[in-house]
Structure 1
Amino acid sequence: MKILIVEDEPKTGDYLRKGLVEAGFVADLARDGLDGLHLALNGDYDLIVLDVMLPSMDGWDVLQTVRQSGLTTPVIFLTARDRVEDKVRGLELGADDYLVKPFAFSEFLARVRTLLRRGKSQDPQTLRAADLEMDLLRRRVSRANVRVDLTAKEFALLELLLRRQGQVLPRSLIASQVWDMNFDSDTNVIDVAVRRLRAKVDEPFDPKLIRTVRGMGYVLEVPEHP
């Protein structure tokens, strides 16, 4: 399990990371809001631990941007702001839990494990769109009950499109999520990969599911009128 900590107070951040690592987690630490947001959007975390008062971008804005991007990663606020209004604001913005400093690490760890169990139970093992089906456990894809063989990158690309079904994904996001690289506008690697994926999962079948949105990116969605 991979956890992101966004905390600018050095002792607290180091303490949390050390405790989580000793508890068996992989933990990354960002010390300001913008770095935390970048990691949250690109790091594929199972949980985010977020302070409110942060340099460069506060925790409210980090969480709001994360949720607007479509990410449903569980978020726990860990902050000295103990007013009821702050707790309500955090939960309304999409936080899953809110813990006030100072805190007992044992309680923090129990809340982390509870959120991770909840997230795991809600995480689907099969992704679907029309007659397209992706089995995440067996890493198999089929369309109209016909097996479709994909490369590892094609599988990752299709999984991203299915998880963000109905959302237009810019090439920059696809590049960072699937290829773990910054998007270079001079390269056509994303377009080539999407074209190859379409040839396997779309061209032999109807309806067509993967659509190019000119000047924006790609979207996978079931058309209203096939």
Structure 2
Amino acid sequence: MMTNLFSVFDPSAIFNLSLNWLSALTFILVATPIFWTIPNKILILFNSALNKLHGEFKTLLGPEAFPGSSIMFIGLFFMVMVNNFLGLFPYIFTASSHLLFTLALSLPLWVSFMMFGWVNHTKHMFAHLVPQSTPGALMPFMVLIETISNVIRPGTLAVRLMANMVAGHLLMTLLGNQTALASNFILVGLIFTQILLLTLESAVAMIQAYVFAVLSTLYASEITSH
């Protein structure tokens, strides 16, 4: 039963090619506003969201961040959000529900932040391992705890996004499987519940993309702000 339930997240293959992974690149279609001669409502909404995110990420990164650093996190936000939304449509593969996709985003970011910090701001990175006003007897334990918390950051970032995507889709799949044996009265309730869950999942898709981008921005700000 559990194998059949989780099989909805399995990428199907045609001619030994997992073509549905190409859905992860669909975000490129919304990232080309220069090809529009006349701005439409979608483009205006896209530009307003881009400007809002740029101002917020720039504030989180701080004044010592490199110019244009927020553009990377804005692109990360839109990429994750588009993939989350695509998974809500029928017969479209949800790439963000797989650890392979989420870890491929979080791990390179974390490794690049750590390499940059330890090479350019070594003393600052050592100072982060021991919080201020820490008693001398607790310093070795705090170094161990802070090291573990830094090491597991890419894993928690990836698992958080994957788990939230899987949980909502599993619940919708479970309710959808009950429609075949349900009576008319129960069927109406199931459809209404599915609509509410779809609305909730739409909000979760946006929130999780925002959380993923904001946490990545905060991890970068810890390296650059000193």
Quickly name the TM-score band, shorter chain normalised: under 0.3
Q: Which has the higher strand share?
A: 1
Return the TM-score normalized by structure 2: 0.24
Q: Which structure has the greater CA radius of gyration? A: 2
Q: Which has the higher helix share?
A: 2
- The higher relative CO (CA closer than 8 Å, separation ≥ 6) is in 2
